[in-house]
Amino acid sequence: MQREVDQKELAGVVTLLARHGQVVEERTYGKKDIATAAPMRADTIFRIFSMTKPVTGVAMMILYEEGKWRPSDPISKFIPEFAQLKVFKGLDQSGKMILEDPIHPPTMRELMSHTAGFTYGIFGHTPVDKMYQDEHVLQSESLQVMIGKLAKIPLLYQPGTRWEYSVSMDIQGYIVEKLSGRPLPDFMQEHIFGPLKMKDTGFYVPKEKWDRFATLYQGDEKGAMVASSPDARFAAPPTMPSGGGGLVSTAQDYLRFSQMLLNGGELDGERILSPGAVALMTANHLAPRLMTGEFSVGTETIRPGMGYGYDCAVFTDPLEADEVVGKGTFFWLGAADTWFWIDPTNDLIFIGMTQRMIGPGQPNVEQLSRPLVYQALVKPKM
């Protein structure tokens, strides 16, 4: 980690390793802000982007345990606007979209595992991705407006036939609001952040904590690190809270969330989920025909030994997937090079927080960190 900072590939890093419910090592490296030389601190607040997804998954599983939805339910049961969704089949000779009916209505199981037919509009170059961009789906004024836009855009593929990283968790955020009757930030605060004492996690950074907010960096054309322009997105509560990537947090807060999951849904006497619900969320829900290496996002590839559960990836057979983690390890990462994994076989949690956006020159510290951790685990059964 220090090498990445010394080589100016990262401004700073916070790493946190825990085993058997105890912090084994917590370290900080580099700067929170290079221009002011403000040092990285253990309580620095980061944009965790897609590490929001497992948190939304927990919110959904809370509602699952309340009997509000089942994996086999069609999504349109909760979002009637999706009842008439069509599927993109290709373009005709004039360049017009050819649409067809879905082979079955996309289900909640598929929504939770990125197989429902939606896309992101960020990573792909299809006509459907172009529609996401033209409609500014992720920049919608509210979750309801976002749903209205998505209802007019065809699915990219037939439900269940592909794995495609997507807005599915943002759609889940809308469903959380609809099923609970509460705004997504309020539901998460009342049912997750408050009970778990995650005091620095939310959809914006209050003014009194702004001095702890890490400056965001990105790579220029040559991969050199430059500070991003200041933006006010996290200065006030958002009008469209993103269940797919809208949270800020600290390594210490995310450890509490992770430890709750590793404990089977409970931490310090506060039960968030049952062990069964955690097991359902963190099990692989992809068919083997999707785990072939054909589907990927960024540096992560769905492949033999690595599938996807409900809002997080999971190693079903780490050795087959060329990984050193324990069987059943589940994990994900964020666009600004934040990452975590939870290893139930070895009773281990690792969390890494940085602040460099995906793009040229971004180092893969997630892959770097795993062998460094497991080379020290010489007695795994202890």
Cα–Cα distance measured from residue 257 to residue 198, given in angstroms and rounded to the nearest whole number? 8
Domains, the chain, with CATH or none: 2-52+183-374 (3.40.710.10), 65-180 (no CATH)
Q: Along the 382 residues of the chain, how does pLDDT read in single tens digits?
A: 999 999 999 999 999 999 999 999 999 999 999 999 999 999 999 999 999 999 999 999 999 999 999 999 999 999 999 999 999 999 999 999 999 999 999 999 999 999 999 999 999 999 999 999 999 999 999 999 999 999 999 999 999 999 999 999 999 999 999 999 999 999 999 999 999 999 999 999 999 999 999 999 999 988 899 999 877 889 999 999 999 999 999 999 999 999 999 999 999 999 999 999 999 999 999 999 999 999 999 999 999 999 999 999 999 999 999 999 999 999 999 999 999 999 999 999 999 999 999 988 899 999 999 999 999 998 887 7
Q: What is the pLDDT of residue 231?
A: 75
Residue 93, φ and ψ in degrees, nearest 5: -65, -25
Q: What is the 3-state secondary structure (H, E, C) of 284-342?
A: CCCCHHHCCCCEEECCEEEECCEEECCCCEEECCCCCCCCCCCCCCEEEECCCCCEEEE
Cα–Cα distance measured from residue 346 to residue 47, given in angstroms and rounded to the nearest whole number? 28
Structure tokens at 53: 């997804």
Structure tokens at 207: 């003014």
Asked if 341 contacts 371 with a C-beta cutoff of 8 angstroms, the reply is no
Tell me the whole-structure pTM to 2 decimals.
Answer: 0.97
266-267/270-271 β-pairing: antiparallel
Cβ burial of 134 (10 Å; 0-12, 13-18, 19+) is exposed
Q: What is the pLDDT of residue 357?
A: 95
Alpha helices in 181-226 (DSSP H): 184-188
Helix, strand, or coil here: 227?
Answer: strand
Helix, strand, or coil here: 377?
Answer: coil
Among candidates 13, 9, 23, which has minimal Cα distance to 349?
Answer: 23
Taking residue 227's Cβ as centre, other Cβ atoms within 10 Å add up to 14
Q: What is the pLDDT of residue 380?
A: 81
Residue type, 63: L
* CB-based contacts of 234, cutoff 8 Å, min separation 6: 47, 203, 204, 205, 213, 248
Q: What is the pLDDT of residue 229?
A: 82
Cα–Cα distance measured from residue 118 to residue 156, given in angstroms and rounded to the nearest whole number? 6
Cα–Cα distance measured from residue 207 to residue 176, given in angstroms and rounded to the nearest whole number? 27
Give me Rg for the CA atoms of the chain: 20
